[in-house]
Amino acid sequence: MTKDNSAAVSEALSNLLDLERQALLAGDLKTIGILLEEKSVLVGQLANQNADSGDGLQPVQAKLKRNQELFDQALAGIRNVADRLGILREIRRSMNVYDAQGRREVIAELQERRLEKKA
């Protein structure tokens, strides 16, 4: 890979990482998926270059690290939401009550009450 071509790929990857960051901050998962394919190609092209020309990659590496941290935080947020939804589903299926002695008792399978109209 020539130095000019390497610089062009590095610049393209840098621009793509900026777009990815914007999509991560906006929560645009669809765009992130589209950018991921292109990012894989560009990273593969950069990996094929000579090791002695790696000095110009530090800004790209910093952006990759920054975006990885955003990915990690986004995944943690998604996990928190999934956990909370699981707790809410469990609350809908059962109810915890306490007796006069402070012992917990679970009332399971609460029936959903509906009003039925009759003619």
Q: Is 11 helix (H, G, I), strand (E, B) or coil?
A: helix
Q: Is the pLDDT of residue 57 over 80?
A: no
Check if the beta carbon of residue 23 is closer than 8 Å to that of residue 31.
Answer: yes
pLDDT digits (tens, 9 = 90+) for 1-46: 566 788 888 899 999 999 999 999 998 989 998 999 999 999 888 8
Tokens of 95: 């109810």
- Rounded distance between C-alpha atoms, residue 87 and residue 67, angstroms: 30
**What percent of the chain is modeled with pLDDT above 70?**
87
Tokens of 29: 């998962």
Q: Which residues touch 56 (CB under 8 Å, ≥6 apart)?
A: 6, 7, 10
- Rounded distance between C-alpha atoms, residue 94 and residue 90, angstroms: 6
